[in-house]
Chain A
Amino acid sequence: GPRPGPGPRICEGDCAVLKRDDVFKAVPVLRRRKIIFEKQWFYLDNAIGHIYGTTFEVTSGGNLQPKQEVEETTTETKEAGTDNRNIVDDGKSQKLTHDDIKALKDKGIKGQEIVQQLIENSTTFRDKTEFAQDKYIKKKKKKYEAVITIVKPSTRILSTMYYAREPGKINHLRYDTLAQMLTLGNIRAGNKMIVMETCAGLVLGAVMERMGGYGSIIQMYPGGGPVRAATSCFGFPKLFFNNLHEFPLSKVDSLLSGTFSTETLPSEPEDNALVEEESNGSVDEKQTSMQETEEESTTATTMEINQTDEQETMDINAEDVEFKENKEKENKENVREKQRKQWERRKKLIEAAALLREKNADGLIVASKFHPTPLLLSLLEFVAPSRPFVVYCQYKEPLLECYTKLRERGGVINLKLSETWLRNYQVLPDRSHPKLTMSGGGGYLLSGITVVLDKGKSDSSNLEALKMEEPSSKRCKVQDLHC
């Protein structure tokens, strides 16, 4: 087979993800830039050039140093109790005081050493059971051993990170639900996909990852422009954006009724005013200024990773104010550049409209804060027959209505309303069990397959379908259960 090359290395300008235990944070890799993560501050300078997946220790002055694999020095025979009948919580078992520990830390003593000292100065440690000792060490290690792993972003990591850190930004779409969407939607290289999401661009990114730069995506967006903060965290190569199109939701009706025409589009100078008006009137609070909108919508085309990434990850790292100021200065200088971008944007709009008009998309993915019914009824028009579609909603009720309306409309089969439950396990010798907490809700999915819409006879056949789907005998049974 091919010779193994070195793994991908951390480069300046990359978007990387910091990981400590199960906590993630996406950051742009920049020199001399202070990062705060899990109550620690440090610089990423020393990480540049290392392979992704490397674990670092934070040393004094906020420097990162690759962690040396140390053999655990547990050659001494272990001493442990069998139960806790004689262990009394008098609050005095730890002989080191808070000040002692702080002094150790200030001296720059390694976390590993501090943990060892804590163990030695715990009067109850030897009486604890082996399992309790294990747990004690793990807890202390977590607190005093500051190790950070830098990993390459992926849908797995970013969707886990968003669900844990900012579920509100992704409408509480849990990662296993996103996984179902990608599979149910048969997302793969070569597809022509329609994506309508208000999940910070996470769903778009997930679709782009699965398509690997092959095929095309038309992103439908509300307001002044698509939000792609999460998309840019993936660090996709430029070529992935060549066939990424965007189309405003507010023009869908005119496109479907045939009144959409490129002549109704304003020419370049007025373009500015129009988009601004649109974004101000939009429901999306994020779209407050033209500048933001412009940046987000053009990330795709220009994708100057180094510059746009930080801008986009702002919501994840609020500490970068300095940078934003620089960016704004730059923007003022580049009026001509902006006009060129606007012209490009208009060209792309015309392209996207043409792609939609073909009405032959290979699938539709919806994951938004909006009511799904109107979105589905309109956007399905652009999808070819025998193609899957998936709608996400944080709540079940709107999907019930959507289900009913789709049945009335016809042209869809195999409708399925579902939800997944995710359970994590602790697996340790003699201590395996489901984890204490699990997620209460990760949203609901309505999926189905499009078929040729039989316009003439649709009414009667749909009634049949409805009956088929809702047998009266079963309805009675359910009713009985409720009474």
Chain B
Amino acid sequence: MSFVEYGDTIKDGDTAIVFLGHESMFPVKVQHGTVTQTKYGVIRHSMDLIGKKYGSKVTCSKGGWVFILHPTPELWTMNLPHRTQILYSTDISVITMMLELKPGSIVCESGTGSGSLSHALIRTVAPTGHLYTVEFHQQRAEKAREEFREHGVEHLVTVTNQDVCKNGFGVSNIADAVFLDIPSPWEAIGHAKSALKAEGGRICSFSPCIEQVQRTCLAMEEYGFTEINTLEILLRVYNVRTISLQIPDLGKTAEDNSSTGFDSSNPSNQGSPCTNLQQGTVQFKSGVPLREMVGHTGYLTFATKS
């Protein structure tokens, strides 16, 4: 296993995802002789995990079962230990596409934070690209290095512990794309420009507040960036539910009920409304929005150096 290559079987040293069901999961470092506690009981790595196929159902000591999944940047994002606020896959998707990242791309990133975006970037630029990530917090930088090592991607990433606003990315004229997720991105636009290739490239800055965006846009313009564009992406998740609505009693006689407008002759296949006149209800499948959803993560400002 590595975060940039699928493997079929679980091996000692792998990072695997234990899936307990309904969006409940956690990562586990597979090690001979180790056990992991779950609410369904104990998983013994040597017997229950190592040598098994990824995607297998593993029965725990109390008889309950879990699935063991191959790690991906997306699963990692959902399960990683937070050291900072992180970027989620919805924003990451748009960042990756709008920065035009692909195998071979050279990317600069700051800050590294908890490495949520870093893993996604590395996945996309592998096997020939590289990520230069800058984190001014020494402990976080160290922790990120350690994770990249554990995940088998250390050859694709360089972590530098410095202040990007003061010292830049530590590289120049090399990057195809730059990503900024720092409190004052406008102070790093000059460094971003010099990190990008002479022939040009793309930049993205992520900021939660519109005031940050305004200052960043001004700085981008000042440094000659073009195609400056700010957008926001919102994820709406739907629960699939079978809903039944009661038919109101308007005092109609039994014979009239057959002409209520509901097609009771319709075979009750999924998706189409199903009428149960005896109970006086109509059933149908619906995609119900979650009661609460993320309304704002941050603004994404993109631009081109040409």
A-side interface residues toward B, CB under 8 Å?
1-2, 4-8, 51, 53, 154-156, 159, 175-176, 178-180, 182-184, 186, 188-191, 209-214, 360, 362, 384-388, 396-401, 403-405, 413-425, 427, 429, 432, 434, 444, 449-452, 454, 465, 468-470, 474-475, 478-479, 482-483
Contacts and interface: CB of A to CB of B under 8 A. Distances in A.
B92 A183 contact: yes
Contact of A176 (B94, B236, B237): B94
B233 A156 contact: no
Q: Which of A425, A434, A468 has the most chain B CB within a 10 Å cutoff? A: A425
A404 B285 contact: yes
Contact of A53 (B69, B245, B287, B304): B304
A427 B271 contact: no
A451 B54 CA distance: 8
Interface residues of B, number: 80
B233 A427 contact: no
Given A4-B199, A385-B55, A400 B97 contact: no
Given A186-B123, A451-B67, A385 B97 contact: no
Contacts of A429: 214, 218
Interface string B67-92: 11110111000000000000001101
A196 B103 CA distance: 23
A386 B245 contact: no
A435 to B, nearest CB: 9
Contacts, number: 219
A406 to B, nearest CB: 10
Given A403-B240, A413-B19, A422 B213 contact: no
A153 to B, nearest CB: 10
A336 B51 CA distance: 53
Contacts of B90: 180, 420
Given A4-B197, A400-B285, A425-B299, A417 B231 contact: no
B21 A465 contact: yes
A424 B270 contact: no
Given A451-B57, A483-B246, A425 B236 contact: no
Given A189-B126, A190-B127, A429-B214, A386 B54 contact: yes
A425 B55 contact: no
- In terms of DSSP, what is the predominant structure of the interface of chain B? mixed
Interface string B279-306: 0000001111000000000010100101
A299 to B, nearest CB: 20
The 9 A-B residue pairs with the shortest CB-CB distance in the complex, in nearest-first order:
A385-B55, A212-B103, A7-B199, A386-B55, A4-B198, A183-B93, A386-B54, A53-B306, A179-B97
Nearest to B73: A186
A454 B57 contact: yes
A471 B108 CA distance: 45
Contacts of A482: 243, 245
A419 B120 contact: no
A387 B6 contact: yes
A404 B285 CA distance: 9
Contacts of A180: 89-90, 93
Given A210-B102, A385-B55, 12 more contacts: A188-B123, A210-B103, A396-B287, A423-B231, A432-B214, A452-B53, A474-B239, A475-B241, A475-B242, A478-B243, A482-B243, A482-B245
Main secondary structure of the interface of A (DSSP, over half): mixed
B47 interface: no
Contacts of B287: 396, 399-400, 417, 444
B122 to A, nearest CB: 10
Given A1-B172, A416-B237, A156 B8 contact: no
Given A182-B93, A421-B233, A482-B243, A386 B306 contact: no
B270 A190 contact: no
Nearest to B123: A188
B96 A179 contact: yes
Contacts of A182: 93, 96-97
A214 B67 CA distance: 29
A397 B97 contact: no
Interface string B200-243: 10000000001001100110000000001111111111111111
B244 interface: yes
B268 interface: no
Given A209-B102, A210-B124, A450-B55, A483 B245 contact: yes
A419 B242 contact: no
B23 to A, nearest CB: 7
26 contacts: A2-B174, A7-B197, A51-B199, A154-B100, A176-B94, A183-B96, A183-B120, A186-B73, A213-B103, A362-B6, A384-B55, A386-B68, A400-B271, A413-B19, A418-B237, A424-B230, A427-B213, A427-B301, A444-B287, A451-B57, A452-B55, A452-B57, A454-B57, A468-B22, A475-B241, A478-B286
Nearest to A180: B93
Contacts of A2: 174
Contacts of A479: 243-245
B56 interface: yes
A186 B238 contact: no
A448 to B, nearest CB: 11
Nearest to A464: B21
B242 A418 contact: no
B236 A418 contact: yes
A234 B210 CA distance: 35
Interface in B1-30: 4-6, 8, 19, 21-23
Contacts of A396: 238, 287
B171 A470 contact: no
Contacts of A415: 240
A189 B172 contact: no
A212 B4 CA distance: 14
Nearest to B245: A482
B173 interface: yes
A182, A423, A427: residue with the most chain B Cβ atoms closer than 10 Å: A427
Contacts of B97: 155-156, 159, 175-176, 178-179, 182
Given A2-B174, A51-B199, A190-B127, A422 B231 contact: yes
B41 interface: no
B230 to A, nearest CB: 4
B196 to A, nearest CB: 10
Nearest to B217: A427
Given A421-B233, A423-B234, A1 B171 contact: yes
Contacts of A156: 97-98, 100
Contacts of B299: 425
Nearest to A21: B227
Contacts of B237: 416-418
B183 interface: no
Nearest to A187: B124
A17 to B, nearest CB: 12
